[in-house]
Structure 1
Amino acid sequence: MTATEHTLRNTTLSIRDGIAEFTHQRPEIRNALTPELKHDYVDMLDIVEDDRSVRALILTGSGGSFCAGGDLKSLLAMRDDPSLAAHQPEAMRRRVKRGQGWLRRLRDLEVPVVAAVDGPAAGAGFSIALTADFVLASERASFSMVFVKIGLVPDMGAMYSLPRTVGLSMAKELMLTGRRVGAAEAHKLGIVHAIHSADALAEDARRFAARFVDGPREAMALTKNALNGTFEAPYETMLAAEAQGQAVAAAAPYYGEAVQAFLRGEPAKFDWDRRR
């Protein structure tokens, strides 16, 4: 497969061997969620959604930080802008809504998304990590819902995703205290899928993502999208999703080729255990 490199405003995007890797590149501000980084997420999603060679996406940060949360300088500038004084609540609402647009696209992306978290994932950075399908963490990773410390409420989907990950009581604790959770506790709580050394995290994340490359794209996309709604959907709705999804998956070339290979006694193209 060909390799492509994109240099965006605060990030880089590389696509190689079926894996897209999106890296936050402002370590001097701990990869805070600047307006430029938000624009980069939109551009990255445009590229990845249109590239059928991409079979998995890795989100990561440079310089020992995943994302330290919202850019407080831009928040203060908005608060102190005299032109917004009479409309500040509405301006903040619009700002949050814009972020929710690309966040929804990230959650619904039809390939597995892996967050490789090294160092802090705080505030909105924690929220972004929770949007991924899998979170791999270094031993020095940390997670914190710091919004309360500056008098704000959790956003970027956190009020939806965190209770579904750790349970309602623990979500309340993490959101109302803003305390920092280390990698080991985050793994115990179900936030983190696996812990790796800081030196090995990047390569381990690529190896993990590479195991999806030979998988059935249609079947995995249908499964992921159905599961994203499983906590809200009635039983009958999930049964209908199964039936509709199976009809589409069975019509895809992958299914017929995989069955024929099985009947010939050949190893499966996608075998998670065999790739370990």
Structure 2
Amino acid sequence: MEALRLQRDGGVAVLTLARPASRNALDEVLREELLAVLPRLSEDDSLRALVIQGEGGAFCAGGDLKGIGGARLDADGWRRRMARGHQWLKPLLALDCPIITAVDGAAYGAGFSLALCGDFLLVGPRARFCMSFLRVGLMPDLGGLPALCAALGPRRARELVLSAREVSADEALRLGLASEALDSDRLPGRALEIAKAFEGASPAAVAMIKNEIRHLTAGDSDDLLHREAVGQAVLFDTSAHRDAVDRFLNKKPAAFQWPRDRSGEQHDS
């Protein structure tokens, strides 16, 4: 594989996003490789835990805005493109084993959504989270909005999504987004250590617990993802989104910027 590395250690799979030149952005190649790998993992009865991490000082910078800017699709074309992305997301969300996401670097946009797929979210000191969608005239995708609401509650989720501000590793731990904060050199080993612990757990009990939590918190995931795809398709087709992508590609400031306080720091509410 070109953009992913999949390694096995007994019952544990380690999935590494390996596009460091683009900060592991979800370009066409990476999305197609996720589509090839994740359904296969979901059918592997020997899998006891999955670790997801990024290579090269980033977790995942989100969607590939260069690719998006070059696409010429109508709203229905964008909806179909979003639905194809859900084809790899659904088996990930439906995994009966624990998922550990190890974040040390940028987890922006869809990368933040991917990090939230973790039952255990570990952070290194360089971790930075941002629901950056409003900066480019879009709404959260890859299940990010319901996941953030489940993790933090609706009010805090609204604040992070509508401000599109950055969250540091320390704040992520304080908010309860992150399970543990570690030094960069300890992060991969700790993720693997947690994953390996589940080789001694009852797979049936783990699956039952995860399924019950999904039932209690996620609602109808197919309906949620369908509404997400339809809403995002409408927004992809707006002039505000096209202008935001043009600004990004031409290295101009985004039209929407969260205001900074008098010290020059973003508000940490």
User: What TM-score bracket applies, with the shorter chain setting the length?
Assistant: 0.7 to 0.9
Match of 2:40 in 1: 47
| Counterpart secondary structure, 1:99 | helix
Deviations 1:104-138 (A, max 9, x none): 21111011011011101000000011112111111
Is 1:202 equivalent to 2:195 in the alignment? no
CA RMSD of aligned residues (A): 1.3
1:90 is displaced (CA, Å) by 1.1
Partner of 1:262: none
TM-score, length of structure 1 as denominator length: 0.77
* Residue 47 of structure 1: how far off its partner (Å): 3.0
Q: 2:115 maps to what in 1?
A: 129
Asked if 1:159 is matched to 2:152, the reply is no
- 63, 73, 91: which one pairs with 2:56? 63
> Structure 1: how far apart are the matches of 2:164 and 2:218?
27
**1:23 positional shift:** 0.2
Change (3 A) 1:185 1:102: same
Structure 1: which 5+ residue stretches go unaligned? 1-7, 234-276
Report whether the alignment pairs 1:102 with 2:88. Answer: yes
In 1, the alpha carbon distance for the partners of 2:3 and 2:217 equals 35
Q: Secondary structure at the match of 1:212?
A: helix
TM-fit CA distance, 1:232:
6.1
Structure 2 residue ranges without an equivalent (≥5): 220-269
Name the CA distance, whole Å, in 2 between partners of 1:137 and 1:130. 12
Alignment of 1:219-258 (within 5 A): 219-231=205-217
Q: What is the aligned partner in structure 2 of residue 186 from structure 1?
A: 172
Please tell me the residue identity of whatever aligns with 1:28. Answer: A
- 3-state SS of 2:47 partner: coil
Q: What one-letter code is carried by the residue in structure 2 that aligns with 1:105?
A: P
Residues 66-115 of structure 1: per-residue CA shift (max 9 Å, x gap): 0000001110111xx3xx4xxx1111111112112321211110110110
The higher-RCO structure (CA 8 Å, 6+ apart) is 2
Following the alignment from structure 1 to structure 2, what is the Cα–Cα distance between the partners of residues 18 and 231? 27
Q: Which amino acid aligns with 1:123?
A: G
Distance 1:187 1:77, change over 3 A: same
Give deviations 1:232-252, integer Å, cap 9, x for gaps.
67xxxxxxxxxxxxxxxxxxx
Hey, what's the Cα distance between the residues in 2 that align with 1:36 and 1:166? 32
Change (3 A) 1:232 1:68: closer
Q: For residues 136 and 213 of structure 1, what CA distance do their matches in structure 2 show?
A: 19
Larger radius of gyration: 1
Q: Give the residue type in structure 2 aligned to 1:89.
A: A
**Aligned partner letter, 2:80:** R
User: 1:107 touches 1:132 (CA, 8 Å); kept in 2?
Assistant: no
SS at match of 1:230: helix
SS at match of 1:163: helix
Moved over 4 A (4+): none
In the alignment, which of 163, 178, 182 is matched to residue 177 of structure 1?
A: 163
1:186-240 deviation digits (Å, cap 9, x = unpaired): 111111111111111011110111111111111111111111111367xxxxxxx
CA shift, 1:32, in A, is: 0.2
The question of whether the paired residues in 1 share the 8 Å contact of 2:115 and 2:121 is answered with yes
1:140 deviation in Å?
A: 1.3
Query: Does the CA-based 8 Å contact 2:39-2:91 persist in structure 1?
Result: no
